[in-house]
Amino acid sequence: MKEEKLSYYVNKASELNNSLFDNKIRVAILSSFTLNGLAETIQVKCAEKKIQCFTYVGNYNQYNQDILNPQSDLYKFKPDLTFLFIDTRALLKELFHHPHSISVGERKTLVTEKTNEVSILATKFSDTIKSKLVLANFSIPTFSPYGISENKTDFGFHRMLNEINNNIADRFSKSDSVYVYDFDKFVTKFGEKNVFDYKQFFFGDMKISIDYIPYLASEMISYVIGYLGISKKCIVLDLDNTLWGGIVGEDGFNGIKLGPEPPGNAFLEFQKTLLSFHQRGIILAINSKNNYDDAIEVIREHPYMQLREDNFASLKINWNDKVSNLKEIASEINIGLDSIVFFDDDPINREYVRVNLPQVETVELPKDPSEFTNVLQHLNEFSILKITQEDQRRGKMYAEQRNRSDLEKSAPSLEEFLQQLDVKVSIKNANDFTIPRISQLTLKTNQFNLTTKRYQESDIKKFVQDSSYLVGCAQVEDKFGDNGITGVFIVDKKNPKEWHLDTFLLSCRVMGREVEKGILNYIINKAKESGAQKIRAEFIPTQKNKPVEDFLPNCGFTKESDSWVYSVNLPFEIPNYITVSAE
């Protein structure tokens, strides 16, 4: 993807006025070399996504002092997200040019020492402050002092650096506070000769060319999106000339371009990449002006079709306009329009959607379909800090949701539909397995969320370790399948007589089935068992959480000043079609 020049972002940063943005983040940048312009570029790219970004840039090559001094300006700034770039020359010093001046055994010892050196620094940082640290790994130069004999050398220069990178990745693979950014792959992607400019290096110790700072900033924005929990959930796709070449209504089943030969192989590759996104948890849907029978035949029966009917949570194949269909898709899947990314080859349709639904991310597709995969792979809208098992199963869950929708349409009443669903709610404790999902739901859930408080994994772990909190989640199943962990509650029990409902939320995936009453009933019973007399809760309204506005009064809570209170001695009933169990 083509980027603007660095000067554009520096100038734009001076004009920013972010006072109206709801999302805010504090970003620190530490490095062993000159990184001028990265902070300004991140600020502008954040603003483009309606995020207010405050930045701190450490002094030149002062990252050690910043991290090791608990009174440093870095810690006074209190970053949410910190990026640390240490270049390979700074890591190895003289041995960068003369790695073979020491023995094989000494090189192996050096790898262990450098791994520990970087790891201790990262751990010190995460122990000092509640901030996510993004640690860039080390670029492996194509040059070797041993030239073509490099791979004939026992534990050579490249092997050393590979080992350090692998060690650091392994060291922090399970950390929820330190993330390793693959800077070496960034250099590979854009080319060492492009990213590292000797003239700029000699002039100002710039290890990343100013032309590639904006590209680096784009990759850093992925961490911002993941931290804030504002990643997109759904890709909505056109069909003709988007998922396959040609127009099925005119060219027919056998005439469309889709297969291993050009030009059909470009669409085949695009579909394969979409399927990989689907398998990691991105919802797919169709929005196509087409004859339904023609299009569905291709989806169901074409031998080279990678995406089948069960891969789509919604199929709008009709002659309605794209805006109306997008609204229906969002309603049917029960997600916000701002969770959707729209792909359509037609520039007129794209502009129509941009004008009428600006909250939808409409991708500017190039005319050449061979570029579609590249565009998809470079989107950072789907970035999350950890992919959970729930994410991996999401595609299957939304296919099952279509079956529920079909049952609801055929049932004579809502109550009859719910009776047939056979809903089972399993209350689960917060543990190493469920904590990542609990955090993810607090970061992403907007509609059925009483307080919309956002908690990182480290926050949830602290609640769990504190006996004055009750933290749990709910897994919801029915006759069509497992909806996964879709409910979360955090209860403050510091006042033993009056519990406080800090967080109570439900994924949009299971809204409308009164699952929330089953979860609340569990909390009420736990309060009774402990001797608590009341449960206090707040509803903090936002632009998106209107669906939960009446939940508390409808469940018997009464208003007291700015909060709602429930007496646990009052009878509380849950619908007879819901079965609740607990660990």
* The CA-based dihedral angle spanning residues 105, 107, 111, 112, taken in that order and rounded to the nearest 10 degrees: 30
Q: Which percentage of the chain shows pLDDT scores above 90?
A: 87
Element (H, E) at 111: helix 104-128
Predicted local distance difference test score (pLDDT) of residue 414 = 84
Residues of the chain with pLDDT under 50: none
Predicted local distance difference test score (pLDDT) of residue 74 = 98
Mapped onto helix, strand or coil, the DSSP state of residue 486 is: strand
**φ and ψ of 487, to 5 deg:** -135, 150
Predicted local distance difference test score (pLDDT) of residue 501 = 98
Predicted local distance difference test score (pLDDT) of residue 19 = 64
Predicted local distance difference test score (pLDDT) of residue 18 = 62
Predicted local distance difference test score (pLDDT) of residue 375 = 96
Rg (CA), the chain: 27
With beta carbons less than 8 A apart as the criterion, state whether 6 and 18 touch.
Answer: no
Predicted local distance difference test score (pLDDT) of residue 405 = 81
Burial 138-163 (b: 16+ CB within 10 A, else e): bbbbeebeeeeebeebebbbbbbbeb
Predicted local distance difference test score (pLDDT) of residue 227 = 95
With beta carbons less than 8 A apart as the criterion, state whether 99 and 157 touch.
Answer: yes
Predicted local distance difference test score (pLDDT) of residue 399 = 74
Task: Give dist(CA 386, CA 432) in Å, integer.
Answer: 13
In sign, the C-alpha dihedral spanning 60, 65, 71, 76 is positive
With beta carbons less than 8 A apart as the criterion, state whether 383 and 400 touch.
Answer: no
Give Cβ neighbours of residue 39 (< 8 Å, ≥ 6 apart).
27, 29, 55, 57
